Amino acid sequence: MGKSSSIVHGGIMMIAGTRPELIKVAPVVSELARYDDIRVVIVSTAQQADLLPAFLNLLDTEVDYCLSVMSAGQSLNALLAKTVAALDPVIAKEQPDLIVVQGDTTSALAGALAGRMRGIPLAHIEAGLRTGDADKPFPEETNRRLISHMAALHCAPTRRNRAELVREGIAPRDIVVTGNPVVSSLQNALRTASTSLALEGVFTRLEGLKPIVLTTHRRESFGVTLDRNLRTLRAFVLKHPETALIVPMHPNPNVKETVARILSDTERVALIDPLDYASFLQLIQRAWLVVSDSGGIQEEVASLGKALLVLRSVTERPEAIEAGVARLAGEWPGQLEALLEDWDGLKSWVKSVKPIPNPFGDQRSAMRIAQAFADYLSAQPQRERVAL
Ligand SMILES: CC(=O)N[C@@H]1[C@@H](OP(=O)(O)OP(=O)(O)OC[C@H]2O[C@@H](n3ccc(=O)[nH]c3=O)[C@H](O)[C@@H]2O)O[C@H](CO)[C@@H](O)[C@@H]1O
């Protein structure tokens, strides 16, 4: 199909609300701009209101609706209910032909539910990721499973993700293997990256050391696991004077307060604010080792050729482990200590990790997703616009 046809659609509504969602939908939005017959409406739930501003410039366009769903200390149920309620009038007004959500956040689940309850078809970017354990990660594994069973179009990053969906009874004709748009986003950001002043200060201070970059924020690690991981890393850096730890701190108070309590005033440890995407990628490029419980970082390290210790007991992204760039460090208590204590083994693994073709996608992933949406819309009869 060409980039343009005579059909004018009611459009695509793209719903996102967190840092990783913006990183991943931005290149898809750019690709969709090339289809002059597809109107795109972008809705931010602002689930991560504090983190989002630094990521809005990844979009080549403005957000059409910015909701305000966060309030301090609210439960997941309260957030979900509030987001569905806030999205409903926007969907009713815009009457899109297709609602798009990405990944596994509460915003994605709310977008899927709000759209389905108005009878609008749903497309899911990053479909088919599974750990098989509903509590790991929590609530993301549950969110993904529920979204899959509401979606009409599934953009699966890898063949493995496609197979998971088929195993759950999703019709193969509704799945397109597209790659993950994070790879498109990463390559765009690397092309435009300029040196961040905030980072230069950190690099100057830690010059000549082996920088270890830590990010941590998963809900299921809050408490004992987070505490233990931070103490282990602190002890490691103090034991090895050639290393330094750089921590862009997640603003979630559960994380920030614990990180500050355990790591502040520690020699060769830099606690910094979260970075914009291009700066964060520069930091990873300069890292000796990455330690993280993030999903997106598991996808990025293959392109950047960095070794990653994954602070989780299971992962929905085994492709990174199989490719040799990542190792699980949380399958059992004490595993992180054990991996770090094997200093010679760690050094030789870190040295062996090089940039490889990314197992999660390529520069064209976002383009394939935009094409899948266009094909889906072209195959649909124009929906009758009934107010449900
Ligand atoms: C269970 C799970 O794995 N769920 C994931 C979750 O996202 P996540 O775990 O990947 O989230 P974070 O770790 O917060 O973000 C990571 C991104 O942020 C960049 N970064 C980081 C620090 C910084 O200072 N500056 C930055 O720019 C970094 O390079 C990376 O791209 O939801 C997503 C959306 O649905 C899902 O796709 C995804 O499955």
Cα of 28 from ligand 1 centre, angstroms: 17
- In whole angstroms, what is the distance from residue 288 CA to residue 306 CA? 7
Q: Which helix (H) or strand (E) holds 341?
A: helix 335-341
The model's pTM is: 0.95
Q: Residue 119's CB: how many other CB atoms inside 10 A?
A: 9
Please tell me the residue having the least CA distance from ligand 1 atom 5.
295
In this structure, the answer to whether residues 129 and 239 fall within a common structural domain is: no
Residue with tokens 């997941």: 76
Asked, for residue 246, whether it belongs to a domain, the answer is yes
In this structure, the answer to whether residues 28 and 59 fall within a common structural domain is: yes
What pLDDT is stored for residue 205 in this prediction?
87
Asked, for residue 123, whether it belongs to a domain, the answer is yes
How many domains does the chain fold into?
A: 2
Cα of 163 from ligand 1 centre, angstroms: 24
What pLDDT is stored for residue 76 in this prediction?
95
Phi and psi torsions of 55, nearest 5°: -110, -10
In this structure, the answer to whether residues 202 and 125 fall within a common structural domain is: no
In this structure, the answer to whether residues 173 and 289 fall within a common structural domain is: no
Asked, for residue 108, whether it belongs to a domain, the answer is yes
What pLDDT is stored for residue 178 in this prediction?
98
In this structure, the answer to whether residues 232 and 137 fall within a common structural domain is: no
- In whole angstroms, what is the distance from residue 88 CA to residue 104 CA? 19
- CB-count burial class (<10 Å; 0-12, 13-18, 19+) for 208: exposed
What pLDDT is stored for residue 9 in this prediction?
55
Annotated catalytic, 217?
yes
What pLDDT is stored for residue 73 in this prediction?
87
Asked, for residue 186, whether it belongs to a domain, the answer is no
Asked, for residue 7, whether it belongs to a domain, the answer is no
Phi and psi torsions of 63, nearest 5°: -75, 135
Asked, for residue 216, whether it belongs to a domain, the answer is yes
In this structure, the answer to whether residues 104 and 175 fall within a common structural domain is: yes
Query: What does each of the 388 residues of the chain score in pLDDT, given as a tens digit?
Result: 444 444 445 699 999 999 999 999 999 999 999 999 999 999 999 999 989 999 999 998 999 999 999 998 899 999 999 999 999 999 999 999 999 999 999 999 999 999 999 999 999 999 999 999 999 999 999 999 999 999 999 999 999 999 999 999 999 999 999 999 999 999 999 987 666 777 888 888 889 999 999 999 998 888 999 999 999 999 999 999 999 999 999 999 889 999 999 999 889 999 999 999 999 999 999 999 999 999 999 999 999 999 999 999 999 999 999 999 999 999 999 999 999 999 999 999 999 999 999 999 999 999 999 999 999 999 987 655 444 4
Asked, for residue 337, whether it belongs to a domain, the answer is yes
Strands (DSSP E) contained in the chain are 12-16, 40-44, 65-66, 98-102, 122-125, 153-156, 175-177, 210-215, 243-248, 269-272, 289-292, 308-310, 326-328
In this structure, the answer to whether residues 126 and 226 fall within a common structural domain is: no
- In whole angstroms, what is the distance from residue 275 CA to residue 281 CA? 9
Q: What is the DSSP letter of 43?
A: E
Asked, for residue 3, whether it belongs to a domain, the answer is no
Annotated catalytic, 250?
yes
Residue 256 C-beta-side C-alpha neighbours within 13 Å: 9
For residue 108, give the CATH number of its domain: 3.40.50.2000
Within 6 A (CB) of ligand 1 lie 18-21, 23, 102-105, 108, 126, 137, 140, 215, 217, 248, 274-275, 277, 280, 294-297, 300
In this structure, the answer to whether residues 176 and 257 fall within a common structural domain is: no
3-class DSSP assignment, residue 184: helix
In this structure, the answer to whether residues 237 and 299 fall within a common structural domain is: yes
Please tell me the residue having the least CA distance from ligand 1 atom 15.
20
Q: Which domain holds residue 60?
A: 12-180+362-379
What's the order of all strands across the beta sheet hosting 153-156? 65-66, 40-44, 12-16, 98-102, 122-125, 153-156, 175-177
Task: Using alpha carbons, select from 43, 25, 218, 15 the residue that is nearest to residue 108.
Answer: 15
In this structure, the answer to whether residues 283 and 136 fall within a common structural domain is: no
CA angle centred on 62, ends 61 and 67, rounded to 5°: 145
User: What is the b/e burial string over 352-361, where b = at least 16 CB atoms within 10 angstroms of the residue's CB?
Assistant: ebeeeebbbb
In this structure, the answer to whether residues 95 and 168 fall within a common structural domain is: yes
3-state helix, strand, coil in the chain (%, to 5): 45, 15, 40
In this structure, the answer to whether residues 165 and 83 fall within a common structural domain is: yes
